[in-house]
Structures are given as structure tokens and as C-alpha cells.
Structure 1
Amino acid sequence: MTKDMAIVNVPLRKRGNIDAQLDAYKRGARKEERKVLALLAVERRQMREMAKHLVESLSDDHLLSFASKAGMSRARALRKLRSEAHWNPDAIIRVFGAAP
């Protein structure tokens, strides 16, 4: 199969502005990337809220059980869980998601 070489015979000024086409493509790609990042930020915020709610709704028995397994005091365990709820909410949701 042979390639169509007719485009080679057309002068560059009549083929279109490749720089403008690339710039438009890059703008579109950045716009899509911003949309995806915004959606991920919303999802992250929701997960953090859910994880923080789970930590605050833990009963004293669950909290003391976690603290004893981790080898720390109740107050330190609560601080650690609050920190994890912010920085690693999916772990908190996995561990305490089924807790009443």
C-alpha cells in the first residue's frame, strides 16, 4: 500500500498552523486535567469528612481497644486516628467503616 504524497505538494502556509493546533490541544488537555483534579479533590474531601466522622463516632471501647493494640494512651490514639483521618482517610474507612 502506498502513502498519499499529495499533502507534500501543498505549501506549508496552506496546510494550517501546526503551532496553533498544538497549543489548542495542550489547552484542551490542561482543561481536562483540571476537571479530573477537581473531581479527585471533591472525592478526597468527602472521604476525609467520612473518616473524621467515623473517628469521632467511635465508642470508648473501640478506642481503648485500638489504643491497647497500638500500645498508646487513649488521647494519643485519638490524636493519631484524627491525623490518619485527614492524611489517609481510606485506611480509616477500611478499618472502622463497619463499626457501629
Structure 2
Amino acid sequence: MSIDHGVLNVPLHKRGNIDAEIDRHMAQQRREQRDAAKARAAQWKADKARALVLIDGLSDEQITALAGRARVQKRSVRKNLRDNAGLCPARVVKMLEGLAA
């Protein structure tokens, strides 16, 4: 990397404040991360609500089919689905929407 002597000859107070630029950049990154986290949280809440609605709407035939596929008792299917909806609601929604289709 070569040194640009034209820039080196400019006094420091005229080159700009690199610390202020770094601070602005870091603040912008923190804002973007905070906004992304809020969006993920809102999506998670919406997925969880959708999963719980789908779980409540399951018929006895669907519960029996799920119990057979998962090799668990029928009475524990809804409990397991609710537990999984609290951990990863998007997967539960995807599975139940695929089951309904």
C-alpha cells in the first residue's frame, strides 16, 4: 500500500474527524441490528399465534395421523405441538399447513 503524500501534507484538523465517522457508522449498525431484532420478534410472535390457532383447529383424524407418524400417544400430540410452537413456531406452522394441504 502506497502512502498518498498529498493527503499527508494536509493538516489533521482539515482531513476530517475519523473518530466521528466511526462513531456514526457504529451507531448506524446498532440501529439496524435493533430494528432487525424487533422485526424477528414480531415475526416470531405472529408465527406462534398462527401455530396455536392451527393446533386448536386440528381434527381427531389429524391428531391420530400425527400420533402414528411420530409414534407417540394421541393425548400427547397437542402438548408436544404446543411445546414446539413455543420453541420454533415457524416449523410448526409449516408442518401443520403442509398437513392441511
| Match in the other structure for 1:30 | 30
Q: Which runs of 5+ in 2 are unaligned?
A: none
Correspondences of 1:59-78 after superposition (within 5 Å): 59-78=59-78
Runs (4+) of structure 1 exceeding 3 A deviation are: none
Structure 2: distance between partners of 1:51 and 1:38: 20
Q: Which runs of 5+ in 1 are unaligned?
A: none
Structure 2: distance between partners of 1:34 and 1:86: 22
| Match in the other structure for 2:48 | 48
- Residue type of the alignment partner of 1:84: N
> For the aligned residues, what is the CA RMSD?
2.0
- Deviation (angstroms), 1:55: 0.8
Q: CA-to-partner distance for each residue in 1:2-51, whole Å, 9 max, x for gaps? A: x9642221111221221121011100110111111111111111111111
Q: CA-to-partner distance for each residue in 1:48-74, whole Å, 9 max, x for gaps? A: 111111111101111122112222122
Give the TM-score normalised by the residue count of structure 1: 0.85
Structure 1: distance between partners of 2:18 and 2:63: 62
